Structure 1
Amino acid sequence: MENNALMERVLPLEGVYNFRDMGGLKARDGRKVKKGLLFRSAELTGMTSNDKTNLRPLNLKLIYDYRDMAEAVVKPDPQIGNERHERVAVNGQDKSTAKDEWDPETFYKTFTREKFAQVYREMPIQNASYKRLMHLFAKPEQNLPVLHHCAGGRDRTGVGAMLLLRTLGVSFETIMEDYLLSNKTLVAYHQELFEEAAQFVSGAQLKQFEEGFMLNEQYLDASINSIFSTYGKFGKYLEKEFGITRTEREKIKDYCLE
């Protein structure tokens, strides 16, 4: 899919970065993901009243938040319409699984591509947040349309998007293109982050962080390869991790594809 076609799915909101419809992507069986069912974004706190007005017609049933409690308390999700809100932290409720890596100073000072790839490697395996997400996804008529998000809508949301799209039979190549789109939609977000990083690191270290933190194939590949090395096949992963059988997967596809 051309980048222009990918960019067309980005909703131009005033106070929220990277809000996009995951619909329109082609599955391997020739069908496409329906528009208006699956949405992804960065954090929602800055949402303006205009944004809310523009989003209400989406009739979201659920907003699913991957952030931990500390993030959600500082930047809470607003209510848009009548949707339910759920939050299950990808990195453990109190960041216990990520230890102190996510403390800004430690994060910037110790950042390496390899370390970040390791975070991606661990994310999709035995993760309570994705288990809950996929449990909800397995009942699409009750829980879609859904908006899933984290802080930037790129890492935790990127892995979540990969799981949803791959369940629907979208190729990894297409999923990767969609994942890398966040580098375009998050220019201002990355700029803010790099300015914050500059308070803790400088010179070559800052440059290394700026280059390494941009999304690249190595990161999402680490997640995908982790699934394959643990389970062999994606279908087996769905069954063992989430209890989604082949029959259930077909039902989800029939609901979400056209």
Structure 2
Amino acid sequence: MTERPSKDHDNAEAGASPRPPAVEEPRRVVLGAVHNMRDLGGLETADGRVVRSGVLFRSDMLKHATGSDLERIGALGLRTVIDLRRPDEIALHGHFEAEGVDYRHLELRHLRWELFEQEPATHDERVLFLRQRYSGFLESGSDAIRESLDLITNQSPTLVHCIAGKDRTGIVVAVTLGLLGVAEADIAADFALTASGQQRYQAWAEREGLEVFRGLTTPEEAMLGTLQELRSRYGSFEGYARIIGFADVDKLKDALLD
């Protein structure tokens, strides 16, 4: 991998420094130079089942991963890595390669955030900005979301990542967990945990003498509002899945739930 830091919306939009979540961060995969990787295992569903540990992971990009980090990632037994970044981001930063792991580039298409002239300044403005962008992801990125769901269903254990593992990754993971039956409050709480990953990245970059970009926070309200918008537009997670062409919800549950 040959990658460098990027001023991208997933890692570098304007705004206040992220605050850590109020609850202790669970399920984190502790690595030296990858700052936001965690296992989605252990989350409960409405029907009393549990997301199986070791089958679905989310992460920031792996460009700075050390040798020991790569050994730890290799021990996860991944079959598939889904990269949601743009082609220019991959050209700039490189991508993950490992023997026996199916690397898939599934660009989640979206408006380029860095082209917006108005930067959200207050907490409420940031929440609104994220809700608007995330709701847009559900349509502009529907092909990548559908293909990600197919791979997660058929080729787990799977790792999903973008730049910071926050925005594009957050939407793919949210839809997946919603289809599994995880409560929306728990989906939003997991999304909010990325604030700690952002802080770890910023502290690490400062120690390494790299330019540090301050990113938008990951407020639970932004994800909750996005999921509310999903239900308003499509009726349910299953309704959204049907519209984008994903029909294997039962198979997804069999693959990921205990």
Query: Could you say whether these structures have the same fold, taking a TM-score greater than 0.5 normalized by the shorter chain as the test?
Result: yes
For 1:132, the aligned partner's letter is: E
Q: Which has the larger radius of gyration?
A: 1
1:147 and 2:167 are equivalent in the alignment: no
For 1:119, the aligned partner's letter is: R
Structure 2 matches for 1:220-231, cutoff 5 A? 220-231=223-234
Query: How many residues are matched?
Result: 226
- Structure number with the higher helix fraction is 1
Match of 2:132 among 118, 121, 126: 118
Deviation, structure 1 residue 8 = 3.7
**Unaligned runs of at least 5 residues, structure 2:** 1-21
- Runs of 4+ displaced beyond 6 Å: none
Query: Contact 2:84/2:160 (CA < 8 Å) preserved in 1?
Result: yes
Query: Match of 2:251?
Result: 251
Match of 2:180 among 168, 178, 181: 168
Match of 1:188 among 200, 206, 212: 200
Post-superposition Cα deviations, 1:22-66, rounded to whole Å, max 9, x if no partner, equal 111111111110001000000111111111111212221111011
Query: Contact 1:122/1:226 (CA < 8 Å) preserved in 2?
Result: no
TM-score normalised to structure 1 length: 0.79
Post-superposition Cα deviations, 1:81-103, rounded to whole Å, max 9, x if no partner, equal 4101111222x3xxxx415x325
Query: Match of 1:200?
Result: none
CA 1:116–1:243 in 2, change beyond 3 Å: closer, same or farther?
closer
Deviation, structure 1 residue 214 = 0.9
1:98 and 2:111 are equivalent in the alignment: yes
Post-superposition Cα deviations, 1:153-182, rounded to whole Å, max 9, x if no partner, equal 111111111111111111101111111111
Query: Match of 1:75?
Result: 93
Aligned equivalents of 1:125, 1:255: Cα separation in 2: 26
For 2:250, the aligned partner's letter is: E
Post-superposition Cα deviations, 1:210-249, rounded to whole Å, max 9, x if no partner, equal 7xx21112321342123112211222111122332xxx32
Deviation, structure 1 residue 196 = 5.1
1:41 and 2:59 are equivalent in the alignment: yes
Aligned equivalents of 1:161, 1:190: Cα separation in 2: 23
Query: Contact 1:135/1:242 (CA < 8 Å) preserved in 2?
Result: no
Task: Tell me which moved more, 149-158 or 179-188.
Answer: 179-188
Query: Match of 2:239?
Result: 236
Query: Match of 1:51?
Result: 69
Query: Contact 1:37/1:145 (CA < 8 Å) preserved in 2?
Result: yes
Query: Match of 1:205?
Result: none
Aligned equivalents of 2:162, 2:39: Cα separation in 1: 16
**Unaligned runs of at least 5 residues, structure 1:** 198-208
1:32 and 2:50 are equivalent in the alignment: yes
Deviation, structure 1 residue 184 = 1.8
Query: Contact 2:188/2:221 (CA < 8 Å) preserved in 1?
Result: no
For 1:84, the aligned partner's letter is: D
Query: Match of 1:133?
Result: 148
Post-superposition Cα deviations, 1:176-202, rounded to whole Å, max 9, x if no partner, equal 111111112221335669x655xxxxx
